[in-house]
Chains A and B, each alone.
Chain A
Amino acid sequence: MLDQPILSVRALSYAPSEGETLLRDVNLDIEAGGFYVVKGPSGAGKSTLLRLLCRLILPSSGAVLLRGRPVNRIPAPELRSKVLYLHQSPLMVEGGVEDNILLPFTFKANAALERPGRERLLELMRELRLDGVDLDRPADKLSVGQKQRVCLLRALVLSPDILLLDEPTSALDQDNAAVVLDRIAWLHREKGQTILLVTHGTQVIPVDNLRTLSVRNGTARIE
C-alpha cells in the first residue's frame, strides 16, 4: 500500500482580486520526507502557493489536506506550527539569540511542547554551524547569514511536519547562501525533514532525490 501524501492540494484556485486569477485548479501531492524545489518565473505565484498552504492567505476555492485532514478544520496556530513558513528576510525580535529561538514557546498553541534545554540548544546551534555564537548575544548583532540560521533553528524547535522556505538565501552572499543551503539539505538527509524551497534556481542544492515543483502559467505541478 502506498503511503498517504503528507500534504495534498485539491482543485486549488486563488484570485487576489476580482477578474485576476493567479493560480487555477492546482492539484499536488507532497510526499513525507520529500525535497521539492519550487521554481517558476517571477510573479508566477511561488510564494503565494506556499502562503496558501499555511493559510496566511485563503484560497478562492479548493482544499489543502494535511495527512488527509482539511487544513481549515485545524486551528490556525496549530496548523502553522506543523506547516511552517519561513520568510525571505530573517526577522528577529528584541532580545538575545536564546530569546529568539525560544520565541515559539511563548505562544499558547506551543505551551504543551517540550522546551529544549540549554544543552540541546547548544547541540542544535552546532548542527546549524552557529557554534561560535553566544546564546545571550543580542540577536540584532548577528550577521544576516547567522540570523537566517537562527530563524531556521527557531522553526526546527517546533519539529514541523513540513518546512516552507521562501527564498531563504536571497539576502545572503554566496558563501553564506552555500552554508544555509548545506544545512537545509542536511536537515532533509539526516532528519528526513519534508521541505518545499522557493529558489531563483542558480544555486546547487546538495540533495540526491530533488523534485521540482513548477509554478507557471497559473498552475503548479510536480515534474
Chain B
Amino acid sequence: MTISQVGSYSASKGIKVSTVNSKEILSGTTLIKRGFAHMQKHGVIMDVTNVEQAQIAEDAGAVAVMVLDKLPYDVRHAGGVARTASVKVIEAVLDSVSIPIMAKCRIGHSSEASILVEIGVDMVDESEVLSPADESRHIWKWNYTTPFVNGAKNLGDALRRIEEGAAMIRTKGEPGTGDVSEAVTHIRMINNEMKKLKGIHDNGDNQELIKIAREIRSSFEIVKETARLGRLPVVNFAAGGISTPADAALLMSLGCDGIFVGSGIFKAEDPLERAKAVVIATTYFDDPKTVLEAQKMIDERKSMLGLDIKNLDLKMQERGPTI
C-alpha cells in the first residue's frame, strides 16, 4: 500500500458502507481520509475569513482554504473566546470556490466538529488557534467520515493525534506572529526524533523502540512504523508565522510536505501577489533562482509587521490537552 494504514481503528464509525448498482462502496476509510491529505502535498493552504479572500486565495493557487472567524493575528488582539467561524460564512465560501474547504473547531469540541461536517467542509482542523473547549481530551476523530488535521509540537503529539484519527498533521509554530522560528524549531525537533528512530529501527532494536514509545506516550505499533518509514505516516505540513516566499521555501527545505499560511497573506498589503509568490516558492523551494523571482513579487514594506514571540502574553501552541 502506498499510504500507511498504521494506527487505523478498525471499528471506526466514520466508515460508511453503501451500494451503487450492487457494488459496495466505502467512504471515510483511512485510505480515503489520508489520501485526501496526500492530494494537498507541495501546496499552500491559506487562511481566509470571507468569500472575497477565498476567491483571491483560489486565484493565487491555494490548494485549499481554511475558513476562520478571525485571522490568528486578530484573534490575538481581540482576546476573549475564539470559536468556530459563522455557518453562513463557511456556506458562502463552499458555494464560491472549487478547491477544498477546511474550517477550524475548538480542541475537544466534538459538537463544533459535527456542525462543520454537516455543513460539508472537506477537512476539519481541531485547532489551538481557537480557545480549547476541553483541557484534557482531544476529539475521537475516527467517529467522522470527514478527515481531520491536528497540530503537533513533537513526535509524541503527532503520533497520539494520528492514533485518535487525524489524517494529517501540521507542525505548530506560533500563529499570528509573522515569526517562523517556532515552526522551524518544532520541525527540526520532529525530524531529529524520526532520524533517531530510523537508526534504532535499522539496528533491529525493538526493545529500545518500545521504550521510546512509552516515553512519548504512543503505541509501539505506530512508533515502529514511523521508525521504518523514517517519516510521519501521514502528510505533515508546516504552520505558524509564515509570511514570505522565503519563509515557505525554508520550511519546505526542512522536509515538510506543504505549508499553511495564516495571517501572513491577508494581514499583508499585497495579498494576491504575495499568495502567488508563496505558492511558487513552495513548489520551487530548492531552486534559489525561482525563489528569488517569487521574493521579487512581494515588497517587504508590505509584509505584516509581526510580533516578537518573547513578548507574547498568549502562546497558542501551548493551549489544549498535554496528553
Are both chains from one complex? no
- A interface residue numbers (CB < 8 A to B): none
Binding site for A on B (CB under 8 A): none
